Amino acid sequence: MMNLLPLIVLMTSFLAAMVIFMLPEQEHRLRSLVNLGAAVLKIALILLLIQYVVAGFRPELRLEVLPGLSMILRADALAMLFAGLSSMLWLFTTLYAIGYLEGSPNRSRFFGFFSLCVASTMGISLAGNLFTFFIFYELLTLSTYPLIVHRGTPESLRAGRIYLAYTLSGGAVLLIGIVAIYALAGDIEFGDLQRVAEMAPDLHPLLHLVFALLILGLGVKAALVPLHGWLPIAMVAPAPVSALLHAVAVVKAGAFGIVRVVYDVYGIDYSWQQGLLTPLAIVASITILYGSLRALQQTDIKRRLAYSTVSQVSYIILGITLFGPLGTIGGLVHLLHQGLMKVTLFFCAGNYAETLGIHKINELDGVGTRMPLTSAAFTVGAFGMIGLPPVAGFISKWYLGTGALLAGMDWVVAVLVASSLLNAAYFLPLLYRIWFKPVPDSWPHEMITRYRDTAPLLLFPALATALLSIAAGLFAGLQISPVGWAELITLREYLP
């Protein structure tokens, strides 16, 4: 039973997706029920799994799909980190999406693929080897495409095309890498570090090449510069989808994959000894700075947020490249923190757009008066991104900085500081406009007038995630906090 749990977790959203596909379009209530039911059930199951994992078990399910090659679903601590994040955020995003799409067509299709998307994310987190990872990684690409082109406008179709061009090419490169490492070392299960470590030295150059291929493939989804082009363009999608792309699933899948490759395939020791991490750190740093600089130039709120994601996700990767427990914790914990904060920001951006038709930064003037709660949540997210305590972003930054120094990469601190400055530079003007600019005579396109702020279904998820982002930072010292969990992972899995 315990070993079946990972599959059951996967199936909750998968079956939900199937049921939703089958439901007639007008069955809104039932669909919402299925959606939310599945989300809650999944959280419960994940909590159960976490219990097992804390107790030292490793629920695992395997199926041999090709000779010598298995699909492995396994719940280890790292998997739980990502699964926990996405299942939790799924709940909020679903709630949000239900509110967001109120009265719009095609909801059956949307929510079907939405659930499928989360199912793939679950698969990614529970994957026990690169092969399984790849399966769900590509499934994710497929299930997000319909969401991006959901509106069917020429721009969204174009965005979909570009998204596919990037991600499928990345997937192809990743596939070469996976096949190559399989050919070199066989079916490496995550955490089985002996295979690579014991490889003959003359194969090392080849292993490095494969490493580069894997990173290149994963870097597309993780939006490493210069592979990030799809992300800002994909902004045309509806806000819940953006949240999904940026916080819950897609970008995270790439980053998570890099985590797996570095820690669970190559092993941090090997990667460090072979000098694989420094180039990656440099790329991540360039991405952090470049993303921030580009964010500064954007006038569209969501585009600015998108470039912010480009920058922020690379924190995760930067953390991974920092040899030592603190860097690891920083990278892992930012996986969660970034998710929470970015999802908040996107919810809020969506609220602005849906309630008042605000899309541009200069339309935000005085919106704090009209939508104080949304704006408060937005502020929390922005502060988190800048790295101000007590919002969670600071915690990540703290670990990353100290981890970098422990790893002897002191220049990373400069990157972090510069990026904080840039983050402040592109977020504070927004906050200024929101709170301190006078209220304009009319809003661009006021759609929701019934509520003081905005529709409760739109507001609640934003507030909840904002509170969670604060809580994650404020109560970082607790065992159950993201930091606590990341420490557990680090201590249990990566430190002998």
Of 7, 36, 52, 106, the one binding another protein by CB under 8 A: 106
168 binds another protein (CB under 8 A): yes
Which residues in 419-458 contact another protein (CB under 8 A)? 420-421, 424-425, 428, 432, 435-436, 438
- Give the nearest distance from C-beta 40 to another protein in angstroms: 26
Which residues in 226-245 contact another protein (CB under 8 A)? 226, 228-229, 232-233
Q: Closer to another protein at the Cβ: 98 or 470? A: 470
Which residues in 458-477 contact another protein (CB under 8 A)? 473-477
23 binds another protein (CB under 8 A): no
Q: What are phi and psi of 73, to 5 degrees?
A: -110, 125
Which residues in 334-373 contact another protein (CB under 8 A)? none
237 neighbors 148 (Cβ within 8 angstroms)? yes
By CB under 8 A, the count of residues binding another protein is 97
Tally of CB atoms within 10 A around 455: 17
Which residues in 58-87 contact another protein (CB under 8 A)? 63-67, 69, 71
54 binds another protein (CB under 8 A): no
Q: Which residue has the tokens 């179709």?
A: 157
- Give the nearest distance from C-beta 482 to another protein in angstroms: 12
Q: Got the DSSP string for 177-237?
A: HHHHHHHHH-SPBTT--HHHHTS-GGGHHHHHHHHHHHHHHHHHHTT-TTS-THHHHGGGS
Q: From residue 109, give the alpha-carbon distance in Å to each of 94, 147, 402.
A: 14, 9, 46
- Give the nearest distance from C-beta 267 to another protein in angstroms: 19
Span interacting with another protein, options 30-38, 48-56, 108-116, 312-320, rule CB under 8 A: 108-116
Looking at residue 437, the DSSP 8-state letter turns out to be: S
How far is residue 140's CA from residue 143's CA, in Å, rounded to a whole number?
5
Which residues in 122-141 contact another protein (CB under 8 A)? 131, 134-136, 138-139, 141
Looking at residue 361, the DSSP 8-state letter turns out to be: G
155 binds another protein (CB under 8 A): no
Of 28, 62, 151, 433, the one binding another protein by CB under 8 A: 151
Which amino acid is present at 334?
Answer: H
Of 416, 430, 462, 489, the one binding another protein by CB under 8 A: 416
Span interacting with another protein, options 5-13, 248-256, 315-323, 405-413, rule CB under 8 A: 405-413
Q: Closer to another protein at the Cβ: 263 or 383? A: 383
The interface mask with another protein, positions 188-217, x = CB under 8 A, is ------------x-xx-xx-----------
| 404 membership: H or E segment, kind and range | helix 392-406
Tokens for 333? 């914990």
Q: Closer to another protein at the Cβ: 41 or 184? A: 184
Looking at residue 455, the DSSP 8-state letter turns out to be: -
Tokens for 260? 């797996």
For 346-383, b/e burial (b = at least 16 CB within 10 A) is: bbbbbbbbbbbebbebebbbbbbebbebbbbbbbbbbb
413 binds another protein (CB under 8 A): yes
Residue 439 CA to its chain's centroid (Å): 34
Q: Closer to another protein at the Cβ: 95 or 164? A: 164
Q: Which residues contact 104 (CB under 8 A, 6 or more apart)?
A: none
161 binds another protein (CB under 8 A): yes
Looking at residue 494, the DSSP 8-state letter turns out to be: I
Of 2, 176, 286, 457, the one binding another protein by CB under 8 A: 176
- Give the nearest distance from C-beta 119 to another protein in angstroms: 12
Q: Which residues on neighbouring strands pair with residue 69, listed in sequence order?
A: 66
Residue 325 CA to its chain's centroid (Å): 22
Q: Closer to another protein at the Cβ: 91 or 337? A: 337
Which residues in 263-302 contact another protein (CB under 8 A)? 293-294, 296-297
